[in-house]
Amino acid sequence: MMYLLLSVLASTLIFVVFKLFSIFKVNTLHAIVVNYFVACVSGIIAFNGTITLATIPAYNWFFYAIALGSLFIIVFNLMAITTQRSGLSVVSVATKMSVVIPIIFGLLYYKDSLGIYKGVGILLALVAVYLASVKQKDGLAIQPKNLIFPILVFLGSGIIDTSIKYIEGSFVAENDVPIFSATIFASAFSIGILVVIAQAIRGKFRFEFKNIIGGIVLGVPNYFSIYFLVKALRSDLLESSGIFTINNVGIVMLSTLVGIALFKEKLLLKNWIGILVAVLSIFLVALDKLL
């Protein structure tokens, strides 16, 4: 339970940092690139052993980690495009609704159980994500020509979560979790730095120290959000479908409450209903394990 709670907390801290980015006008892309470097270093520091760079490509999970890192950058850019064209709520819903992909994968591939309480809990979790994330009275408004972007965010986010579960369970040894996470972030950083170099060549790069600070602040919770999620998936607390459900709905619920407490966000009635539904969904998914 502790690892799952820490994963939710770390992911909520990421939400807080992104909110601060908008307040202090931090360049999100530049901070994200720095964040990947910091997250990589965090994994190296956490690794209990000697790291030899020449031996890392020999790990069975190496190329999977490289692919995941590439996907991190791709999905981030898709999220940025979606935010610009359709708004932040659309991105939030697309990202959190993507939990259905690892849930379905767990049910089909790992033969996770699906009792009545768990099934209802998963459905309520999806309802909670929508109600708590959409801050507009009239719901989401997406122009047909922009629909492809939230769909790609949905698919990309779901594939990332599913891949993390599959790779860590099939190829990553217990002691290698930190270096596995570090390799993912190193891959994302390598691609991100190429993007920044391309901006500099085109004369569109401007160095600002606050972007470095923002990346450092973001990097630590970003690393631990992955690390604790992997540890939670390896625990006997719940099956993967239950872990992903509670993790995602827990992040939505806690980040909404933090938004109220720290940033004085105003919630609609449906947002409060979403929080209550989130609590109920967590209770039902956990109850299914006990029965």
Cα 163 to Cα 116, 218, 272: the distances in Å are 27, 23, 33
Nearby residues of 61 by Cβ (< 8 Å), 6 or more positions away: 167, 171, 172, 176, 180, 183
DSSP letter string over 98-152?
TTHHHHHHHHHHS-----HHHHHHHHHHHHHHHHHH--STT-----GGGTHHHHH
What pLDDT, on a 0 to 100 scale, did the predictor assign at position 38?
96
Q: pLDDT per residue over 231-283, tens digit each? A: 999 988 889 999 999 999 999 889 888 888 988 888 889 999 999 999 999 99
Handedness of CA 227, 231, 232, 233 (dihedral sign): positive
Q: pLDDT per residue over 149-170, tens digit each? A: 889 999 999 999 999 999 988 9
| pTM, 2 dp | 0.89
State the Cα–Cα distance between residues 283 and 278, nearest whole angstrom: 9
What pLDDT, on a 0 to 100 scale, did the predictor assign at position 90?
81
How far is it between the farthest Cα atoms of the chain? 61
What pLDDT, on a 0 to 100 scale, did the predictor assign at position 267?
85
State the Cα–Cα distance between residues 212 and 230, nearest whole angstrom: 27
CB 85 within 8 A of CB 149: yes
CB 194 within 8 A of CB 77: no
State the Cα–Cα distance between residues 258 and 238, nearest whole angstrom: 26
What pLDDT, on a 0 to 100 scale, did the predictor assign at position 48?
82
State the Cα–Cα distance between residues 108 and 139, nearest whole angstrom: 32
CB 254 within 8 A of CB 133: no
User: Helix %, strand %, coil % for the chain, to 5?
Assistant: 80, 0, 20
What pLDDT, on a 0 to 100 scale, did the predictor assign at position 291?
66
State the Cα–Cα distance between residues 142 and 190, nearest whole angstrom: 33
Nearest C-alpha neighbor of 129 from the set 92, 166, 179 = 92
What pLDDT, on a 0 to 100 scale, did the predictor assign at position 141?
67
Q: What is the 3 state secondary structure string of 83-95?
A: HHHHCHHHHHHHH
> Where do the structural domains in the chain lie, given as residue ranges?
2-114+144-236
pLDDT < 50 stretches in the chain: none
Cα 194 to Cα 70, 199, 201: the distances in Å are 12, 9, 11
